[in-house]
Structure 1
């Protein structure tokens, strides 16, 4: 992989990722932009202990532009976008409307006992999977998907070196049902200045399980799913894919490397190559369920940057709100009001449908 670093007109970093042997020089960004300036504040919810991010500048972010005004396409024909090059393979750059910012200052600090706040000192990036506006991750070649994996791993390593960052979270939102505001195939990376609740809960359960049983919780889940077999979708030498026993979402699929690694940078070449093939197969099966492409959220769960790494097992959690043709699941009273999840379908039945898709 070739890595080329540049700077956008307002001072934000951009990184091009190209397959080995590609010759590229960073292209100047000719736009007249004011220096990047944003701030966010973390407020502690005294009832739950959760950190809530307040980032009011995000209200003005770009919303569903037409294809000929897409800010993630290459800069061509006199139109300048966020990527100042006529073509690219994979690109990552600092989000212009970030939820976290290294520029957040001391004026964000509050501590009166009950109400507490601190600066949201993290970083948010956009990762463009391809320069082709009219495709999706599902349409990538295995070689291009592998390049995306390499970019995720590199960004995890680089963002994890920021002193204020506790957790690096690459993810993709696809589909208007999910709330996507840009149609170009892309994902994001949040470098959190705290350990987010889902990761914290999974890791706490894994640590408690190890203390009680002397084994890794994630590894035992893999073995239990393998023995049951009814929810396993795909298994290769390097990856196992299954629908979890207690799935929350109408469609929920988990992808684990069969050999434990803690985070994306620890994946070796064989695991990266096989993930690209397996993941594309899974996405195409999801798209075969209904007449329209399946909306989804793909979230990487990996070890935090410094603490709680001992029991971590990298995996991808893939979920969709689509529950039937033309219907989506809304998080209504029980889910939103009490966190009491109700799944209208059985994971075993959906696994059979996906195996046949």
Structure 2
């Protein structure tokens, strides 16, 4: 059964069921009616994967062997993220769309059957669990050749509303602990579909980086009574040298201890725990700084930069007074034809070494003529 919900900024979400039982959600601003059915044959969904504990570091690892057969860099005429046209039956039944979100066809994590609880962590004797969670795909545009930087401000605002809506909906699921919307761009990052899109991973556990950030934030608060991220932002604003863009409600900077040749944090000046808590004014001013940051990134070398753009937000049920929403954009491109490889020190030891100072990359980003 269709579900139509009015959101903020004139965005309307229409949710429909696909032939294989997955849900597709259209986010529209022009009064569109979504009625075209999924014409593909029914298809059995993959089962849930395994969750295993690596006892050496106390981190969960999801096993999703069914993903080995997923589509890899198809030509434009076979792109599954383009609108359905003629004989090309894609993930999106309609022949056009603004922003659309649908359940991933090859999910790393999927909803569990019945009640769910993580196994107790007891070192090497920890039981195997189910890889519970939710994985969704979010398409930014029907234009196969587009990119985030070329989206209109209105489209970015609609995209933000979709991120906010999915965060709100996924937070209601009892087995979800953390929600992470992100975009991978470029084959250097490992992108398997060239169409402009992102993903939303909703985990049943706290990912390692979130766990570490929460641990450090708690210690800082116990010692000082202050929120660590607020102190970090205050330092960036005070130093000023690494700030690359700013408007009334947001600031973008290269952090003092960047790990990547080009790393940008986009932060709301009014701190919030997650996307759902952004005030209307902050939402409306996000598109301008988001587009500017992406244009500056591509303008550094005059080429399409490979990057990961990930929203970091507080977990669903803990640490909401300690962690702050921010958008991290990282690129391994250090020069035309040269990448920053995460090799021995970074991948094996987890110890990052930077070949250039963040002040240098900040200046390069600021020098881009828009």
TM-score normalised to structure 1 length: 0.96
Question: Alignment partner for residue 80 of structure 1, among 89, 93, 107?
Answer: 89
| Residue of structure 2 equivalent to 1:173 | 184
Cα displacement string for residues 174-222 of structure 1 (whole angstroms, at most 9, x for unaligned residues): 0111110000000000000100011121122112111111111111111
C-alpha distance in 2, partners of 1:105/1:339? Answer: 37
Q: How do 1:277-316 and structure 2 match up within 5 A?
A: 277-316=288-327
**Quick check: 313-322 or 24-33, which moved more?**
24-33
Check whether the contact 1:254–1:316 (CA below 8 A) recurs between aligned residues: yes
Q: Distance in 2 between matches of 1:105 and 1:39?
A: 12
Tell me the distance in 2 between the aligned counterparts of 1:66 and 1:48. 40
* Matched residue, 1:33: 42
1:317 partnered with 2:312: no
Of residues 225, 243, 246 in structure 1, which corresponds to 2:236? 225
Q: Where do 4+ consecutive residues of structure 1 move more than 2 Å?
A: 103-106, 108-113
- Unpaired runs of 5+ residues, structure 2, are 1-10
Structure 2 residue corresponding to 1:63, chosen from 66, 72, 83: 72
Q: 1:284-309: CA deviations, max 9, x gaps?
A: 00001113211100010001111121
- 1:342 maps to 2:350: no
State the secondary structure of the residue aligned to 1:199. Answer: helix
Q: CA RMSD in A?
A: 1.8
User: Using the alignment, how far apart are the partners of 1:244 and 1:59 within structure 2?
Assistant: 36
Counting only pairs closer than 5 Å after superposition, residues 1-357 of structure 1 correspond to structure 2 as: 1-19=11-29, 21-103=30-112, 114-116=124-126, 117-357=128-368
> How many residues of Structure 1 are paired with residues of Structure 2 in the alignment?
356
Structure-2 separation of matches of 1:327 and 1:123: 35
Moved more, 95-104 or 82-91: 95-104
- TM-score normalised over the length of structure 2: 0.93
The 3 A distance-change label for structure 1 pair 110 and 305 is closer
Q: How far did residue 141 of structure 1 move?
A: 0.4
Distance 1:329 1:115 in 2: 38
